[in-house]
Amino acid sequence: MDVELSARSRQILEAIVEDYIATAEPVGSSAVARRHALTLSSATVRNVMANLEEMGLLTSPHTSAGRIPTEKAYRFYVDSLVALRRVSREEKRQIISHCRQSGAGLSGILKETSRTLSQLSNYMGIVVAPSFTSDVFRHIEFIRIGQHKILAILVSSKGAVQNRLIETDEEIAPEELIRMGNYLNEMMQGLTINQARERILAEMKSEKAQYDRMMSRALRISEQAVTVENDEIFVEGQARILDQPEFSDAARMKEIYEAFEQKGIILQLLSRCMTADGVQIYIGSETSLSRSAGISLITSRFVTSSNTVGMLGVIGPTRMGYSSVIPIVDYTARMVSRLLSEA
């Protein structure tokens, strides 16, 4: 963010942001000077606050003489001021034990992870299961296992394998299956599995495919092999976020709840996080989660033993405890990656 602040302004902005996160009440100059033991008069603090408001970092509610941070202030705070605390020993114990206690395989681990994130943050925990279709295509092979049955083996660049049994209307010779595989491997190189499916569908509509029997067969079979499955998403703690005072308005609560109920919106938001390393932080309108501001999202990727990538995170108000939630999300992602690599 292109904002330059003096040491004094930074100190006062940090105090206001942290006070507002803690109380959800507008912060006045005397409270800043008193709570944070600043060697400054209330008048000096008030002048600095007025400058910060002119810069778009603070705003003044009509009902109060105090100030509250803007999205711009939260972004500056997260990028330049926040002091991340360490994940406590008890929090680490809960993360590890809760994620390991589930005996229901990957889905059980991820569901428990979303619940743990919600409990530790007191906001909403969210986990998106690894998606095979976001990987880059590497190889497809067809093996005849019956007169009208073919096993399609699809391999991603990360080594993940998906097998699919396909039934055909006619018998296809093994040598033709090899030619079909060679044709498709050349056509789909460098594409993600999703992009490969889109390419297949586009080719199926072309005149060339309609007049080339082998190409037409190959596209029909590969279209079944590269079927896109819905991403599995686990959400826990919607009620926790709606308990926050900024969402006490009934209309606002309804809007936020409806956004959470539409998992497609959340998946669309999280899909852009899949290619980014480390913790990602989206504040207010950066999330596009709802029509108005007020929601922040902290995410991190995790990786399975087959190198497919999933996403986990916490959704809360912009008045979120960033100093504690960021380390929790980071540690949980690293522990889930470690746990799934041992599976």
Model confidence at 221: pLDDT above 70: yes
Average pLDDT over residues 28-32: 86
> 225, 255, 271 — which closes off a domain?
225
Q: What's 315's domain CATH number?
A: 3.30.450.40
334 shares a domain with 276 = yes
Domains held by the chain: number? 3
Q: What tokens appear for 38 in the block?
A: 């600043």
The structure tokens 């008890």 sit at 90
154 backbone dihedrals φ, ψ, rounded to 5°: -110, 125
The residue among 7 and 206 whose pLDDT is bigger is: 7
pLDDT score, position 261: 64
213 shares a domain with 245 = no
Give the count of beta carbons closer than 10 Å to the beta carbon of residue 30.
Answer: 15
Condensed to tens digits (0 to 9), the pLDDT of residues 234-269 reads 888 888 877 888 777 777 667 666 666 656 666 666
Condensed to tens digits (0 to 9), the pLDDT of residues 185-216 reads 888 888 877 778 788 778 777 766 666 777 77
pLDDT score, position 47: 92
125 shares a domain with 137 = no
147 shares a domain with 93 = no
pLDDT score, position 55: 94
Q: What's 74's domain CATH number?
A: 1.10.10.10
220 shares a domain with 165 = yes
Task: Tell me, yes or no, whether 287 lies in a domain.
Answer: yes
DSSP secondary structure letters along 211-253: H-HHHHHHHHHHHHHTPPPPPPEEEE-HHHHHTSGGG-SHHHH
Lowest mean pLDDT among 22-26, 32-36, 42-46, 323-327: 32-36
241 shares a domain with 329 = yes
182 shares a domain with 48 = no
Domain containing residue 144: 133-225
pLDDT score, position 52: 94
How far is residue 282's CA from residue 77's CA, in Å, rounded to a whole number? 13
Q: What tokens appear for 32 in the block?
A: 């800043």
Q: What tokens appear for 253 in the block?
A: 């609560």
332 shares a domain with 219 = no
pLDDT score, position 204: 75
139 shares a domain with 110 = no
Condensed to tens digits (0 to 9), the pLDDT of residues 266-306 reads 666 666 666 677 899 999 888 766 555 588 899 998 887 76
**Contact 266/289 with Cβ under 8 angstroms?**
yes
Model confidence at 230: pLDDT above 60: no
How far is residue 162's CA from residue 175's CA, in Å, rounded to a whole number? 22
268 shares a domain with 124 = yes
Task: Tell me, yes or no, whether 1 lies in a domain.
Answer: no
pLDDT interval class at 133 (50, 70, 90): low
SS3 of 1-68: CCCCCCHHHHHHHHHHHHHHHHHCCCECHHHHHHHCCCCCCHHHHHHHHHHHHHCCCEECCCCCCCEE
3-state secondary structure of 191: coil
CA dist 73 to 4, 189, 190, 252, 320, Å?
A: 12, 45, 41, 22, 13
- Strands in 137-146's sheet, in edge-to-edge order, are 137-146, 149-156, 161-167
> In this prediction, what percent of the chain has a pLDDT beyond 90?
29
In terms of average pLDDT, the best of 81-85, 130-134, 166-170 is 81-85
Find the angle CA(70)-CA(74)-CA(80) to the nearest 5 degrees: 135
Lowest mean pLDDT among 9-13, 88-92, 100-104, 219-223: 100-104
Beta bridge partners of 282: 297
150 shares a domain with 23 = no
pLDDT score, position 257: 67
pLDDT interval class at 99 (50, 70, 90): confident
32 shares a domain with 180 = no
Task: Tell me, yes or no, whether 2 lies in a domain.
Answer: no
Q: What's 148's domain CATH number?
A: 3.30.390.60
The rounded mean pLDDT for the chain is 82
> 179, 196, 225 — which closes off a domain?
225
